[in-house]
A = this chain, B = another copy of it.
Amino acid sequence: MDISKHPNECIFHLLTRAARRGGRAFKAAIEDLGLTAVQGRVLNLLWVMGDARATELGEQVELDSATITGVLDRLAVLGLIERRQDENDRRVARIFLTPAGNELGQKINDRVVPANEAFLDGMTENEVAALKKFLKQL
């Protein structure tokens, strides 16, 4: 199949479409908790990691420093996280969950597995494993 005349064969096109659909599905899964998809992913990631540096979170969710700063700002305003200067390296902003953030992080976590299953409905376990393997190596 010739990509040049079939946009649907272009990997960039396909990845963008799939990611947007996934983003909407995840957003729908956590919408009632009052967070956007990105905020939810960052909060859940922090819940899994315990605490982390701002840049570390950004790397995990593939956001650059400019973007993660804004996301953390909003999570802080919502009272879900706290920024504390690292004692050993005062350049570092160490991020902690507040009790409210911890609670919400866990709630999101409880929904991740069902949301994944719903989104991947129709694919066999082997197919899902293959898809994930491909996505990881890109």
Taking a contact as CB atoms under 8 Å apart, the answer to whether B8 and A15 are in contact is: no
| A73, CB-defined interface residue at 8 Å | no
Per-residue interface assignment for chain A, residues 57 to 100, with 1 indicating a CB less than 8 Å from any chain B CB and 0 otherwise: 00011100000000000000000000000000000000000000
13 CB < 8 A contacts A-B: A3-B116, A4-B112, A7-B45, A7-B48, A11-B128, A11-B131, A12-B23, A12-B41, A14-B136, A15-B23, A16-B22, A21-B62, A122-B137
Residues of B within 8 A of A23 (CB): 12, 15-16
| A31, CB-defined interface residue at 8 Å | no
CB closest residue in chain B, given A27: B12
Per-residue interface assignment for chain A, residues 15 to 47, with 1 indicating a CB less than 8 Å from any chain B CB and 0 otherwise: 111111111011000000000010001001100
Instruction: Tell me, in angstroms, the Cα distance from A17 to B58 when the chains sit together.
Output: 11
Within 8 A of B (CB), among A101-128: 109-110, 112-113, 115-116, 119-120, 122-123, 127-128
Instruction: Tell me, in angstroms, the Cα distance from A23 to B18 when the chains sit together.
Output: 13
